[in-house]
Amino acid sequence: MDPAETERLKQAISTQGARVGQHEQALQSIMESLHNLNTGFTQLSGRLDQSFTQLNTLTAPAPAPPPPAPEIPVIHPGQPREPFIPTPVRYSGDSGTCSQFSSVSQCCLVFDQQPLTYSSDRTRVAFVMSLLSGKAAAWAEAIAKSNPAIYNSFPVFETEMYRVFDHPLQGKEAGNRLLSLRQGSESVSTYSIDFRILAAESGWDETALQIVFSRGLNEELKDELAARDETSSLEELISLAIRLDNSLRERRRERTDRQRFPLPFSQPKSPCPPGQSAPPHQRLEPFSYRDPPTVSSSLSPEEPMQLGRMRLSPAEWERRFLQRLCIYCGQAGHIRANCSARPKEQAQQPGEGRW
More confident residue, 260 or 345: 260
Q: Give the per-residue pLDDT at 341.
A: 82
**Where does the pLDDT of residue 218 fall: very low under 50, low under 70, confident under 90, or very high at 90 and above?**
very high
Q: Give the per-residue pLDDT at 240.
A: 93
Average pLDDT over residues 241-265: 80
CATH code that applies to domain 172-260: 1.10.1200
More confident residue, 190 or 288: 190
Dump pLDDT digits (tens) for 6-16: 878 888 888 88
Task: Give me the residue spans of the domains in the chain.
Answer: 98-165, 172-260, 280-347
pTM of the model: 0.38
CB atoms within 10 A of CB 216: 20
- Is the pLDDT score of 138 beyond 70? yes
Average pLDDT over residues 226-242: 89
Q: What's the per-residue H, E or C state across the chain?
A: CCHHHHHHHHHHHHHHHHHHHHHHHHHHHHHHHHHHHHHHHHHHHHHHHHHHHHHHHHHCCCCCCCCCCCCCCCCCCCCCCCCCCCCCCCECCCCCCHHHHHHHCCHHHHHHHCCCCCCCHHHHHHHHHHCECHHHHHHHHHHHHHCHHHHHCHHHHHHHHHHHHCCCCCCHHHHHHHHHCCCCCCCHHHHHHHHHHHHHHHCCCHHHHHHHHHHCCCHHHHHHHHCCCCCCCHHHHHHHHHHHHHHHHHHHHHHHHHHHCCCCCCCCCCCCCCCCCCCHHHCCCCCCCCCCCCHHHHCCCCCHHHHCCCCCCHHHHHHHHHCCCCCCCCCCCCCHHHCCCCCHHHHCCCCCCCC
Dump pLDDT digits (tens) for 158-210: 888 878 777 666 667 778 888 989 998 899 999 999 899 888 888 888 889 99
Average pLDDT over residues 66-88: 63
Q: How far apart are CA 280 and CA 20, in angstroms?
A: 149
